Structures are given as C-alpha cells and as structure tokens.
Amino acid sequence: MTQRAVILPTSYSVILAVSGTHLINDLIQFLLPALYPLLKSQYALSYFQLGLLTLAQQITACILQPVLGLYGDLRPKPYSLALSLTIVALGVILLATAGSFEGLLVASTVLGLGSALFHPEASRVCRMASGGRLGFAQSSFQVGGNTGTALGPLAAALIVLPLGQFSTIWFGLLAVCGIIILLWVARWFTHHQRIMQAAGGSPATGPVLPRKRLIIAFAVIGALLLSKFVYIETFKAYYVFFLIEKFGLDIPHAQGLLFVFLAAVAFGTFFGGPIGDRIGRKKVIWGSIVGALPFAVLLPHAPLWVAVCLSIIVGLVLSSAFSAIVVYAQELMPQKVGMVAGFVFGFAFGVGALGAAALGALADQIGMQQVFGSLSMLLCLGFLTVFLPDIE
C-alpha cells in the first residue's frame, strides 16, 4: 500500500517555543563578538585574532551541522534540542572565566558546538509544526535568532561592557530557561511522531532532479550564502570599528547603531518566508540579494545618518533571502531536511566566519574603511540566481 502525505494543523505554540529558544541561543552566541572591543584592549588582540575567535565559533558549526542534521534524519532524537542549549550553557561559563586568548578559543568552540546541534534540529521541528506553511515556519524560526543577534549589542552596551567579561555568566540563566522550554518541545515531538506513525503518513516528496542539476543548484546556493553571510558577519564583527574609525563614535553609540542594523535584519528575515509562500522562493532570492546591492555600494561613502538609513534598507532587503533559501534547498531534497538545513546553516556560518577572519586580516593592513568600501561587491554573486532550477 502506498504511503500518503499527512499534513497536521500548524502548531503555533511549538513554532513560538523554538523561535524563542533560537533567540536565546543566538543572543548567547553573539556575546563573543559583542565583547570584541573589550577583549581587543584587555588582551591586546589584533583584528586577525578577533577573526580567529569568530572562525573557531563558526567553523565548528560549519563542519558539524550537516553531519548532525543527517544523523537526525536517520535517527530522530527528541531531546537533542535540550542537549544543544546545555552545551551552550557550558560555553557561556567558559567564556566568562577565560583568562587568555587560548581560553577564549576553547569557549568559542564549545559555543559553536551547541549551535551546530541546535540549528538543524530546530529547523526540522519547525517544519514538522508548519502545517504546510513552510516559509512562515522557517521565517518565524529565523526571526527569533536574528532578534537574539540584534539584542546582542544592547546586552553588550548595557551589561557586558560596563560590568566586564565575567558578567556573561548571567546569560547562562537564559540557557537554563531555554532548556526547560525545549524539554516541553521534546514531548510534543514524541507525540507528533506517534500521530504520524498511526496515520500511516509519510513526508511530502518533492521534485526529482538529475544529479548534475542538484549539484549546480547547491553550488549556486553556496555562492548566494557566501555573498550574504560574509557581508553580514563582517558587519557583526567590524561595523562598530568602522563607525569608530570613520565617524569617531564611542563604543556604546556604535553598538547601538549595530543594533539598528541587526534589528533590520530580524524584520527582513520574518517577511521573506511568508512572501516566498505566496510568490515563490526564487523571486524572493532574486529581489533580496540583488535588490540590496545599490544601497550597499553607497553605504560606506555616505554621511553618518545617511549610512545608518542605508544600513536599515540593506539589512531589511538582504536578510529576506535566508528563509527562502533554506526552504528552497529543503524542497530540493525533502527526505533529508535535517541534513540540508545543516548544510545551509553550517556553510553559511562557516563561510561567513572565514570571510570575516580574512577581511579582519586585510583590515590590519589597509584599514577598516577601505574594507567596507569594497564589501558590497560580494553581493554581485546574487546574479547567479538565474541558474537555480524552477521547482515551484
């Protein structure tokens, strides 16, 4: 007997719970780059060493996320999400107590490990809870993470920078709250699986593309992720230094303007998914990455408040692509959604970190203003969207 696809009603409470814990995870993950101005002076670090800290945190996710995502596809573990935030809590403790560059590297790696386990599992659970509204569920999940990232500079300006490195340990309490929420999600996960098995349903299948077309599609997706995440990770790590160097701002004001950019990223992420549900993912990808290009070109050369307005536009437009990219990639291989999510998140984090480290080393040589002046050229890779197959 042929299995039929079963679509259950959208579980908004589960999507909200996973989005909320994504906020907690990504807020904690951003504590490290938020500390960069303090760590740079306290430990006499170069821009390149700051880039290495970003690399240690993100490359762990890059390597492990596809592997952990595939393992979850083959052997789903309801309590993996709760375990992921337990590892993140350990990383917070190590970050708070690190007394050297080497200790900071270890803390960065542990934080990255927790994030590597969290993202593919959380993306899978949101897809399970979507009730067929895949873009909405993925955007809701992503906006939680982007909101957490946006709150990072505020947490740094109001708490971490005034009180010092050890104050990050208090954010471990947020991780404990997240663990409690995810234990509830794990019980829902188990119940959902029982319902699906009882109904005799199977996950919906998608288009069957030739191997060559799949390879081309994922190569293009990789290029799009490179353009987006090297740009955004460079902003996360160095926008504060750019504002200080170009406009002479103090650290709290520069952190506040970074929050403005990251808040725009959070808003743009949310709207990209539902729009993709209505008009198609490929159109959203086209509009977001290519549409941000002219504003990104102008940003480094504009006066302060014009640059701030341009950063808002770039954040809104550019970030709308990510949820569409995740869902589009999962629809290419719908039987391996965890592995695909792991690839997308892992590659995005890894290439963003590598790019940030490389551009940090370049900034040591030529200055941060010069790096930001040429950063927008990365977005030209958005034109490769023309090679994505039409599957919708």
pLDDT at position 305 is 92
Listed residue (314, 321, 307) closest to 276, CA to CA = 321
Query: Cβ contacts of residue 375 below 8 Å, gap of 6+?
Result: 231, 234, 296, 300, 359
3 assigned to some structural domain:
no
**This model's pTM is above 0.85:** no
Instruction: Render pLDDT for 123-136 as a digit per residue (tens, 0 to 9).
Output: 888 888 888 788 78
1 assigned to some structural domain:
no
369 assigned to some structural domain:
yes
- CA-CA distance, 233 to 220, in Å (whole number)? 20
SS3 5: strand
The count of structural domains within the chain is 1
CATH number of the domain within which 67 lies: 1.20.1250.20
Instruction: Render pLDDT for 248-264 as a digit per residue (tens, 0 to 9).
Output: 888 888 888 988 898 88
Q: Is 196 exposed, middle or buried (0-12, 13-18, 19+ CB in 10 A)?
A: middle
Amino acid occupying residue 370: Q
298 assigned to some structural domain:
yes
**Distance separating the N- and C-terminal Cα atoms of the chain:** 28
248 conformational bin, left if phi > 0, alpha if psi -120 to 50, beta if neither: left
Give mean pLDDT in consecutive 10-residue pieces for the chain, a chain of 392 residues: 58 92 90 81 82 78 76 78 91 87 89 87 86 82 81 78 82 91 91 75 59 87 89 86 89 85 82 79 85 91 93 90 83 80 77 80 86 88 87 68
112 assigned to some structural domain:
yes
Q: Which structural domain, as residue segments, surrounds residue 227?
A: 11-387
Could you tell me where the beta strands, DSSP code E, fall in 282-365? none
pLDDT at position 206 is 54
4 assigned to some structural domain:
no
215 assigned to some structural domain:
yes
SS3 4: strand
278 assigned to some structural domain:
yes
Listed residue (73, 64, 78, 65) closest to 182, CA to CA = 78
SS3 249: coil
pLDDT at position 20 is 93
Contact 88, 114 (CB under 8 A): yes
3-state per-residue secondary structure call for 39-83: HHHHCCCCHHHHHHHHHHHHHHHHHHHHHHHHHHHHCCCCCHHHH
DSSP state of 201: E
